[in-house]
Structure 1
Amino acid sequence: MEAERSRYQSLQITLAEWNDAIIMIRVREIHQLKSVIENEPLRFLTDFFVQYHLLLARYYLFLAAPQKAKEILNMLENKHDTLSPFERNLLLHVKGIYYYSTRKFDCCIQALNQIDDEYPNAEYYFHLATAYHSVHSNTFAYYYGQKALQFFQKTLNILRVIDSEILILIQLNAKEPFDMEQTKQQYDKLLRVCESVNSKERAHKIHNNLGFEYFRRKRFPESKESYERALGLTTEKTPPSSYLVTLSGYILACLKGNLLSKEELYQLANRGRKMAKDHQDPTGVFFEIYLLTLNDDEDELYTYIEKTALPHFKNMGNHLMNQHYERMLFLYYVKTGQTEKGFQLASEKMSNEISYYELE
């Protein structure tokens, strides 16, 4: 009995350590603890069954395998009424991460907002902040980003401190460009921290963000340089989506700044389109737009924007890109004398706008 009690308590501790390792992103420890837990048959006891499987789902999400996580979530769907408060909150947290990984940002926010104050893992504030950022709700993204930052500072989670600082800086530049020199100084500080902890993944993200900030200010040579540095930090382990976002930004900066020949840009855009297709990545739409732009066929380009790109952005909930390409399409209609189409597009846009003055 004493030996069984010891095994029981040991598994409790190991599951908690596995959860902490995932939060702290201690990669080697994450895999080691999984092996230890999977050698313990007690994990299938009623007391551990739900927690073990939820952490396993979280593990699969860490590995960017959302389908495996979804299978576990489906299996636990009917057990909701029997869960302890901790298990219920953990389920909502894992669901939120799953929804975010599959770009269902509204579902992510809805799930995470149901977590109550009894849940000890305030890491979920970071996931809530990133979801709000993804739907361009910058005030909430900043608010929850600050709460996440406080939690990661308190727990000495350096990697997640960097993530939170990056997220907060993005919010400062969200609506109107913040002072570029101050932005650059803050990113440079974070880059030095990335060097100290050898995090190429986060350094890649910082250079990518700098490339975008320079691009917004039409400082195309500096944008190109930042994107080049980001591309130089990609490895075989870099998620395809991260690489493709950076490649897309690099092509656009070079296209707008006339910094590469048409042949070079065409090759890069073709490579991006093929890679996006192979990985079923939504950035493929951008590479198609670049190729049509390089072909100098406005009719074909704007037909693609109207028929394919805009429906895609609406379906993905990408309001920023939808607004940008709607404006481009409207200006094209005006330029080509398609007044009826232009009026229809403007009418639909005005009808969907919210009046913040009258709060309608």
Structure 2
Amino acid sequence: MVEGKIIKFYREKAGITQGQLVGGICSVTHLSKIERGITEYSEEITYLVSKKLKISLEDEKERYEMLRQKLNLWHEALVMQETKESERLKSEIENDIFIELQDFQVFYQLLLARYYLSQHKLDSALVIIQDLQKNETSFSPQDRNMLKHVQGIYYFLTGKYRDCIQILISIDQSQYNQYEYYYHLALAYHTVQANIISYYYAEKVLDYFQKTLNIKRVIDTEMIMIIQLNSKEHHDFIETKERYEQLIRTCDIILDIGRKSKLLHNLAFELYRRKKYKEAADFYQQAMNITDESATHYLTGLDGYISTCYKGNLLSKESLMELANKGLKLANSTNSTLWISFQLQLYQLNEEEDKYYQFIESTVLPHLNHIGYNMLIKHYEKKLFHYYVKKGELQKGLEFAHSYMQEKKRTLDDE
């Protein structure tokens, strides 16, 4: 019973014993049972006890229920990616004295971990996750599965994609009604290039996001689905372009510049893959024009723009060098690992072939293996294989071919 929990909370906050509180009202044993919610009680007793504590029990019950509602709303704001609403609710919840109650602590800590993940404060999230794991056997099925979901997001953001998949597929769907985790499964499977199963989970979560009117996440999910359709072979480009343009128009309607930039970037990449370099460059420019230069996505777009202009002979070598140096400087100033991409661009533009491949072997591949980015790992291992074969170092080349084939087998096993 809520009343007992509220009485105990304020009694302990006031620093008084059960005996001090109920003198002349009822027995200590009776109050103990009220606080633990294991007995019936009269309204007269709770009225006298609350009067002595100088609280209105009805008002406090309302506060208790309101906090429960705010926690649910905060969860919804995190799923909907409503940043301002999430910040507002977080502030209100932190200032509510009832957040100290054990009833709310597990859910609150799970939401706080999700909040930190959304802010990319991974260390702060990990501290909470590890602390929650110590007592997870005592959690409700809902909270236990939510912890797995939060762990999965953490694994994904730290590049542990296979760990992400393993923890998310262990969620008991019958005891966890937050189907958003399908989206994170789709992302993880996409990253390990298990494209069919990625599309499967994206399709499942798309239905959920549509039913909950979560437009932003509908855009994200449809973006994944388009990528999967074009992953192994070029899907019908007219349809692909139409779907991208429709999503871009949706972004304009909801004034979401960030997602629009990503869509323009992805459309540019699809054009680049089809060797439509002039069109690709135009879309990369559009994406960069609406993105802050300090954002990671600006650097990704700039990298794509340089590659496109290089392949399509759209800019002079001097102009490309200037852009690559700009990207390197920006990446270093923001501690972005994309400095690696711009360094590669510079080696390529300077026609320093040996330095280019040495850098791939010594820096690029170790970094990609650390974050588990399988798609690019295979790309660069193939490049190294051909490089060493060309140099006559067949044994060295075969080492990279063996690694590539092993990863290819694991990808097929996933699908």
Pairing 1:287–2:342 present: yes
User: In 1, distance between residues paired with 2:110 and 2:412?
Assistant: 45
Counterparts of 2:203 and 2:118, CA distance in 1: 23
Q: Determine the structure 1 residue equivalent to 2:103.
A: 47
* TM-score relative to the length of structure 2: 0.81
Whole-Å Cα distance in 2 between the matches of residues 183 and 77 of structure 1? 43
Q: For the residues of structure 2 that align with 1:154 and 1:85, how far apart are their CA atoms?
A: 24
Cα distance in 2 for residues equivalent to 1:45 and 1:126: 32
Mean Cα deviation higher: 267-276 or 87-96: 267-276
Map Cα deviations across residues 72-103 of structure 1 (whole Å, 9 max, x no partner).
22222212122111111111111111222222
The corresponding residue for 1:259 is 314
What residue number does 1:25 align with?
Answer: 81
1:325 to 377, 380, 385: 380
2:124 maps to 68
Please list, as runs of the form range in 1=range in 2, the aligned pairs for 1:170-189 lying within 5 A after superposition.
Answer: 170-189=227-246
Alpha-carbon distance, 1:350 to partner: 4.4
Question: Which residue is 1:113 aligned to?
Answer: 169
Cα separation, 1, equivalents of 2:134 and 2:286 = 48
Cα 1:305–1:45 change in 2 (3 A) is same
Classify the secondary structure of the residue corresponding to 1:303.
helix
Distance in structure 1 (CA, Å) of the matches to 2:84 and 2:275: 42
Shift in Å at residue 174 of structure 1?
0.7
> How far 1:358 sits from its partner (Å)?
11
Q: CA deviation at 1:338?
A: 3.0
Q: Which amino acid aligns with 2:217?
A: R
Structure 1 position 241, deviation (Å): 2.6
Q: How does 1:92-131 map to 2 (within 5 A)?
A: 92-117=148-173, 118-131=175-188
Assess if the C-alpha contact under 8 Å between 2:328 and 2:342 holds in 1.
yes
Deviations 1:289-328 (Å, cap 9, x if unpaired)? Answer: 1111111111211222222222322332222212222222
Residues in 1 aligned to 2:357 and 2:318: alpha-carbon distance in whole angstroms: 22
**Following the alignment from structure 2 to structure 1, what is the Cα–Cα distance between the partners of residues 377 and 304?**
17
- C-alpha distance in 2 between matches for 1:348 and 1:56: 40
Cα distance in structure 1, aligned partners of 2:186 and 2:135:
28
Match of 2:248 in 1: 191
Whole-angstrom distance in 2 between the partners of 1:36 and 1:344: 57
Q: 2:158 touches 2:371 (CA, 8 Å); kept in 1?
A: no
Q: Which amino acid is 2:201 matched to?
A: Y
> 1:301 matched to which residue of 2?
356
**Kept in 1: contact 2:261–2:288 (CA 8 A):** yes
**Pairwise CA distance, 1:347:** 4.6
8 Å CA contact 2:382, 2:401 repeated in 1: no
Matches within 5 A, 1:140-219: 140-219=197-276
Unmatched runs of 5 consecutive residues or more in structure 2? 1-56
Distance 1:228 1:153, change over 3 A: same
Q: Percent identity?
A: 44
Larger Rg: 1 or 2? Answer: 2
Rounded Cα–Cα distance in structure 2 between residues aligned with 1:357 and 1:261? 42
In structure 2, do the counterparts of structure 1 residues 225 and 74 end up closer, same or farther at CA, with 3 Å as the change threshold?
same
Aligned CA RMSD, in angstroms, stands at 2.2
Query: CA 1:210–1:330 in structure 2 vs 1: closer, same or farther (change >3 Å)?
Result: same
SS at match of 2:134: helix
Which letter maps to 1:324?
A: H
More deviation, 302-311/84-93: 302-311
Is the CA contact (8 Å cut-off) linking 2:186 and 2:202 kept in structure 1?
yes
Deviation for aligned residue 1:353: 4.8
2:368 corresponds to: 313
